[in-house]
Amino acid sequence: MAGATADDTDAVKSYSGEPTRSKLIEIARYFLFIGTVGFGGPLVHIAMMEDDLVGEDSRQWTDESIFMEGLAICNMLPGPASTQLGIFMGWIRAGNLGAIVAGFCFMLPTFIIIVFFSWLYFAYQQVPSVEAAFYGINPVVIGLIVGAAWSMAQSALAEGRSNLEFSVWGEEWSIDFLLVALLAAAAVATAALGSNPVLQFIVAGIVAVVIYRSAWIRGNLRKVTLWSIVVAIAGLAYAFRDRVLDLLGPSARAALEASPIWAVLVALWSNPWIQLFAFMVYTGSFIYGGGLVLIPFIELYVVQEFGWMTGREFVDGIAIGQLSPGPVVMTTAFVGYKLMLDVSGGLIWVAILGALVAMIGAFGPSFAFIMGFFPYFARVRENEVVQTALIGVNAAVVGSILGATVTLAAESFVDGFTIALAALTFGLFLRGIHAAYLIVGGGALGMSWYFLVL
């Protein structure tokens, strides 16, 4: 790695294993297995890997301390934690080749399932029975998202100071009013203003550091002031980029737009393949806090700004993702399939290639984080200021998910039945009913109501 220190190189060697044919075959077999049968979400995947790969009665790929260190860092990184942990386990078993084989085999079964259901969905979307099924599935997905956000909020709001403690449905809550404010602000900014989720996360992290680490700021005032100015200038330049170009004057703007670099950038961005891949890389680099953080990114850009699909189609894509054993982030394959299906005029093989490009873009950063920068993240994780910033980010993550869900719910709630179904789903999900059962049940109820009552 360029610029790596001797300590970083030693850290890589202490984790990364040496690839052999037998190891790579072992990795492929195991992750094809877990990718096929691992229904239940990230917690199930993590538990399976710990039982099967760590300890005296397992394959003994590593010991418990390294496994827990990898898990802690994967939980800190953007992207799906269980997929990144699988990449990490392949990496420590057989180096970079092992990481690639582990990640590819882990995702392959889910990718095949998503592509198959995407084909079914877009081929038979207008069939009355399919329309009736998704009439019930859409509100179920909204209930699932809110249920997952509820659990995330319980954890995120307890990370700060304990300003208030109470019990809800037998579960103890300890909340910090500052984190509640950050969560609410992110929700409003997403739902009402359509602001960039990354900017929300940055602002929330800065606010948390300012409030919780005021002594550290006073002790490092010069450094903090310098970085604050840089961040403020960059943020303002991005937020008011069109106005900044106008301030340069028509001649300066015309010169910029006439430059070869600008022409190349415009030509590249106008290519739907490059646009899809670049957006997915961007999304995969910043979906911090779990796969559901995908929702505000997709809702803001794919639905509103790019217009690649409708909000209802996106909710349907989330439902399809929930029916698979893999991470919710694989919904990006559904997005890629839909975009390239439209671009190609209905060519299935082009749509499948679009799904593959979207998946590679969305999961590519996870491979880079583990294979290229793991020692750096291991050091950063111990930094108390970074840990404090992440407390604020966690609250903003939940708020952005809820804010995007408000917009999606407006299209999914078409009558009292759909609202009631979402509320029922929320309650059942919090009581431990698996998402796949709820989606299938919602589809059945939706078809019954659609044909018998409506």
Residue ranges per domain, the chain?
8-107, 113-198+263-452
Query: Which is higher by pLDDT, 287 or 178?
Result: 178
Average pLDDT over every residue of 369-389: 81
Cβ atoms within 10 A of the Cβ of 205, count?
23
Q: How far is CA 172 from each of CA 143, 152, 203, 333, rounded to the nearest angstrom?
A: 22, 14, 29, 38
Which of 211-215, 225-229, 322-326 shows the lowest mean pLDDT across its residues?
A: 225-229
pLDDT higher than threshold 50 for residue 359? yes
Residue 384 reports pLDDT greater than 80: yes
Query: Is residue 176 a contact partner of residue 159, using CB atoms and an 8 Å limit?
Result: yes
How far is it, in rounded angstroms, from Cα 377 to Cα 371? 11
**pLDDT score recorded for residue 241:** 59
**Helix 21-37 / helix 81-124 crossing angle, nearest 10 deg:** 60
User: CA-to-CA distance for 52 and 86, rounded, in angstroms?
Assistant: 12
pLDDT of 240 above 90: no
Q: Return the percentage of the chain with pLDDT > 70, whole number.
A: 87
Q: State residue 239 phi and psi, 5-degree precision.
A: -65, -35
Say if residue 250's pLDDT is above 70: no
Where is pLDDT greater, at 56 or 124? Answer: 124
- In sequence order, what are the residues at sequence separation of 6 or more whose Cβ sits closer than 8 angstroms to the Cβ of residue 234? none
Average pLDDT over residues 432-451: 91
Which pLDDT value is given to residue 187? 94
Residue 57: band (very low, low, confident or very high) from pLDDT cuts 50, 70, 90: low
Whether pTM > 0.75 for this model: the answer is: yes
Per-residue pLDDT, 239: 60
Q: How far apart are CA 276 and CA 343, in angstroms?
A: 12
Which band of pLDDT confidence, cut at 50, 70 and 90, is reported for residue 262? low
340-356 b/e (C-beta count within 10 Å ≥ 16 → b):
bbebeeeebebbbbbbb
- CA dist., res. 61 & res. 49, Å (int): 10
Q: Which residue has the higher pLDDT, 432 or 228?
A: 432
Rg (CA), the chain: 23
- Predicted confidence band of residue 256 (pLDDT cuts 50, 70, 90): low
Tokens of 198: 């990354």
Residue 3 has pLDDT above 60, yes or no: no
Question: What value does the mean pLDDT take over residues 386-412?
Answer: 90
Q: Quick check: 248 pLDDT over 90?
A: no
Would you state the pLDDT for residue 79? Answer: 83
Query: Which pLDDT belongs to residue 269?
Result: 75
* CA end-to-end distance (rounded Å), the chain: 62
Average pLDDT over every residue of 406-421? 91
Q: Which of 111, 83, 120, 79 is nearest to 353 (CA)?
A: 111
What value does the mean pLDDT take over residues 72-93?
89
> Is residue 40 classed exposed, middle or buried when 0-12, 13-18 and 19+ CB atoms within 10 A define those classes?
middle
Name the band, by pLDDT with cuts 50, 70 and 90, for residue 15: low
What does the pLDDT read at residue 255? Answer: 63
Q: What is the pLDDT of residue 199?
A: 86
pLDDT at 159: 87
Better-scored residue on pLDDT, 3 or 83: 83
DSSP, collapsed to helix, strand or coil, labels residue 176 as coil
Question: Rounded to whole angstroms, how far apart are CA atoms 371 and 70?
Answer: 12
Q: Which of 139-153, 156-170, 270-284 shows the lowest per-residue confidence on average (mean pLDDT)?
A: 156-170
Q: Which residue has the higher pLDDT, 23 or 258?
A: 23
Q: Is the pLDDT of residue 245 over 80?
A: no
pLDDT at position 261 over 90? no
Mean pLDDT of 188-196: 88
Q: Is the pLDDT at 163 greater than 60, yes or no?
A: yes
Task: Give the H or E element holding residue 413.
Answer: none
324 residue type, one letter: S
Quick one: average pLDDT of 107-124? 94
b/e sequence 367-396, b meaning 16+ C-beta within 10 Å: bebbbeebbbbbeebeeebbbbbbbbbbbb
Residue 165 three-state SS: strand
Identify the weakest region by mean pLDDT among 48-52, 54-58, 127-131.
Answer: 54-58
Q: What band does 252 get if pLDDT is binned at 50, 70 and 90?
A: low
Q: Where residue 324 falls among pLDDT bands split at 50, 70, 90?
A: confident
Question: CA 348 from chain center: how many Å?
Answer: 26
Q: No. of H helices and E strands in the chain?
A: 21, 2
